[in-house]
Structure 1
Amino acid sequence: MTSPATSPRRLARRPEWAGRNYTLLTAAAIVTSLGTHGAMIAAAFAVLQSGGDGGDVGLVVAARTLPLVLFLLIGGAIADRLPRHRVMVAANALNCVSQAVFAVLVLAGDPRLWQMMLLSALCGTGQAFFNPAAEGMLMSSVSGEQVSRAFALFRMAMHGAAIGGAALGGALIAAVGPGWVLALDAAAFAVAGALRAFLDVGHIREREPGGGLLSDLREGWKEFSSRPWLWGIVAQFSVVVAVVGAAESVYGPLVARDELGGAGPWGVALAAFGVGTIGGALLMMRWKPRRMLLAGTLCVFPLAAPSAALAVPLPAAGLAAVMLVSGLAIEVFGVAWMTALHQEIPEDKLSRVSAYDWFGSVAMLPLATALAGPAEGLFGRRESLWGCAALVIVVTAAVLLVPDVRNLTRRTKQVAAAPTAVSADAAVSADAESAVGRLG
């Protein structure tokens, strides 16, 4: 007799690899992506409506980024020591409270710059603890030969929600003001935290008592630094994320204003990038490259194209086409990267390795965005953009010299000695916004 859990009707509704944890994590990620991407726009408009200028907006953004960088490694160690879902729920609670207070201040009509910076810093602190825990939780929730498909679907859902959240947030800001959008973000964190509270961690074996936080950090560093493919690609992305971030956040709006007729074409180009990431996720639901890191790294080269297109500059349609292709290509890398981490990193160290990955990838971004203006004054905007494109090509070519990047091979079956995630209904893989979701 067929049990309800394995009935054909149930299997038709949900794939075998999309277990309970995976479904909860994906649903929660969609909710928070919808809220967060609208709230980022709302925060900028809240600063401007309170009488601030572009420099003040930059201070609020920096206030969120700085604690993210400072606390990532600690967040990774704690997420491998405590039940990850509890860390995620606590971080969501902090984000919910900080965004709710931010919303009240904006709706009251007189937020001060220091208050907005403090609340943004609390939100960044929550993300620093949440990101490594979420990445480890997702990777420990899927197993088997379909992990790449699970990662691709998860990322596609997040990217789609991000696009929808930004569009909805912009419309709501125009209709009801930024304060209500911030309030909706607080509500989204509350809903997502409630969903994550129902995650089942019974399949994750209990951690052995360790020697303390510093010992955990040392173990994570040993795991990270012992794998040339891992630290090589993170070093590559410390440069790639920095220069692409500077080109998109600083030079892109300036080129749009001076050469393309305003903000509209730049908004279309960014939307095209988002559409490209969804296309890349769809591709990776079917394509399973055997040498996954080689395929993924080759797809980083197109990230030089947007900077080159801005340097020319291409007309709006050409720029949008370039952004579409680069979005598709970087999603191929993102899924390949998550698959490699899931296959090669021991489950009990996933969050610490993830924290080193995040830290290495975002650490240079604040510096790059701060230096973008002086570089334009010293070398010129066009020359600076060509420099961004060249750096992407150089560091990507350099990481291909690492043998493991070229040769690491996908395993189609779990190997008994392989340090991968535990199985059971057990086992989802993924990152939560990946080294490259960081670009999107």
Structure 2
Amino acid sequence: MEVVDQPLGSIRTPWRTAAFRRFVWAGLVSAAGSATAPLALAYSVIERGGGAGSLGLVLATNTLPTIVFLLVGGVYADRLSRSRILFLGNLLAAAAQGVLAVTVATGQASTASIAACGLLSGTAASFILPALQGAVAQIVPAEHLQEANALLRLPGNAVKVLAPVAGGFVVAASGAAWALAWDALTFAVAAFLLLGLPLAAPPAPAEGVLADLRAGWAGFRARTWLWTYTAAGTVLVAAWLAGYQLLGPLVAARQYAGARDWGLVQAAFSCGLLAGTLVCLRWKPYRLLAVAVAASGALALPLAAMAAALPLPLVLAAALLAGVGLDVAIVAWSTAFQQHVPEAEQGRMSAFNGLGERLAIPLGYLVTALAADTWDTRTTLLGCAVLIAAAAALNLCVPDVHRVNRRTPQARAR
């Protein structure tokens, strides 16, 4: 595979841009709060006497708006100033988490009120996510996009290793309200860091929102590499959620040492994510999209290892490699997307791609529920691994995938 060499000293090039430094700090601050939020949210429901049904309702109301409003968020990311969208979106998320923290602290929280706050947070996310995807290319020169994408993920991945443990101590010692308040504060700080960044609105089209949406859909369908990657990603993400998040803990409880060993698997995966970011700071593959597709197939490794009842050290090694593969895939994909989709369309294209991944969440749960009635847990886990590998392999058979390669300054000059 062809590799573009880059001197080690140029890795820090994006840091020379003050706007990029602020962008990274905003992401780090937000990640520090968001990493503790799921645990705090779960225990805010449990402390109110809620069970699996209540928690499922809360999680659903948080996810539903990102499916319903994500396309609208993508349209506005291509029409308005992305810095303003990011500011208002983070401010709305801060308000939602702040209200939730107050109601939990005062004992006034109920399943309905927690779900309502989750609805607001999910709505904010549906506008934040498309704006984020298009923002990086407005701040950083095209030749440094991969370094920028890797540097953006570096602090977040480090936080994923440390913050859940810290969040667990905070929730155990002080209750869920303090962790939720911290999440609200981090959203507010991130909002003000993002305010005023040089993310001017793309030229506004004369047509309305629906016309923008139709044009975006036409552009999405016209890019074979984009819609095939999204379709494969829907299957891959669904199988990963079913295998890792749902079946993984069950298998760990039955054939390993339960929660202790499952915690080690999660830690190995998080370390792999961090290692993958470091790989992307040095390795510059030419075939960006093909690398992204192939690397995503590594997610099958820990599922196959657990399905085969391999010893725990081998499962940990597989989880580590899966984390490396996933982060390499994300950085390579983000770079390919930013280099091959025009700036004025990135919000909508990102929204269509993100919608496919989010549809995978209910799909993954549904597939697992149906499979559980037919096969045992380990067989279902193996089936998830096969689906991941097959999705990646079939996507690699798409000719357009091998045409979406790194654009160097020399290539653009020609």
Q: Same fold (TM over 0.5)?
A: yes
How is 1:224-303 mapped onto 2 (pairs within 5 angstroms)? 224-303=220-299
Are positions 1:193 and 2:191 aligned together?
Answer: yes
Any conservation in 1 of the 2:78–2:201 contact (CA below 8 Å)? no
What is the match of residue 123 of structure 1? 121
Q: 1:61 aligns with which of 59, 62, 68?
A: 59
Q: Secondary structure at the match of 2:388?
A: helix
Does residue 137 of the first structure (1) align with residue 143 of the second (2)?
Answer: no
Summarize deviations over 1:169-199 as a string: whole Å, max 9, x none. 1111111111100011000101000100131
* CA deviation vs aligned residue, 1:315-352 (integer Å, no higher than 9, x gap): 43322211110000111111111111111111111111
TM-score (norm 1): 0.88
1:50 maps to what in 2? Answer: 48
Code of the aligned partner of 1:150? A
Letter in 1 for 2:160: A
1:311 aligned residue (291, 307, 312):
307
2:239 corresponds to which letter in structure 1? V
Deviation at 1:12, TM superposition (A): 10
Give the 3-state SS of the residue equivalent to 1:145 in structure 2. Answer: helix
* Partner of residue 175 from structure 2, selected from 157, 172, 177: 177
Residue of 334, 338, 343 corresponding to 1:342: 338
1:273 & 1:312 partners in 2: Cα distance? 18
* Deviation string, structure 1 residues 31-80 (Cα, Å, up to 9, x no partner): 11110110111101111111111232222111111111111100000111
User: Hey, what does 1:24 align to over in structure 2?
Assistant: 22
Deviation at 1:109, TM superposition (A): 2.2
Q: Deviations over 1:229-249 (max 9, x none)?
A: 111111110011111011122
Which runs of 5 or more residues in structure 2 are unaligned?
1-8
**1: CA distance between counterparts of 2:352 and 2:137?**
16
- Output the CA distance in 1 between the equivalents of 2:186 and 2:80: 24
Any unmatched runs of 5+ in structure 1? 1-10, 419-440
* Alignment partner, residue 319 of structure 2: 323
* Residue type of the alignment partner of 2:140: V
Q: Residues of 2 paired with 1:328 and 1:234: CA distance?
A: 21
- Residue 226 and residue 206 in structure 1: after superposition, are their counterparts in 2 closer, same or farther (change >3 A)? closer
CA distance in 1, matches of 2:142, 2:348: 23
Matched residue type, 2:75: A
| Paired positions, count | 406
1:161 match: 159
- Alpha-carbon displacement from aligned partner over 1:10-48 (angstroms, at most 9, x marks no partner): x99963564122111110011111101101111011111
Closer, same or farther in 2 for the Cα pair 1:206/1:350, shift >3 Å? closer
For 1:158 and 1:140, the matched residues in 2 are separated by: 21
TM (norm. structure 2) is 0.93
Write the distance in 2 (CA, Å) between the matches of 1:231 and 1:367: 18
Aligned equivalent of 2:371, options 343, 366, 375 = 375
**Residues 52 and 414 of structure 1: is their aligned pair in 2 closer, same or farther, counting only changes over 3 Å?**
farther
Q: Structure 2 CA distance, aligned partners of 1:60 and 1:392? A: 28
Report percent identity of matched pairs.
Answer: 37
Q: CA RMSD in A?
A: 2.0
Q: 2:404 aligns with which of 408, 411, 416?
A: 408
Secondary structure of 1:200's counterpart equals coil
Deviations 1:142-165 (A, max 9, x none): 114222111111111221123332
Deviations 1:270-321 (A, max 9, x none): 1211111111111111111111222222212211112212222334332221
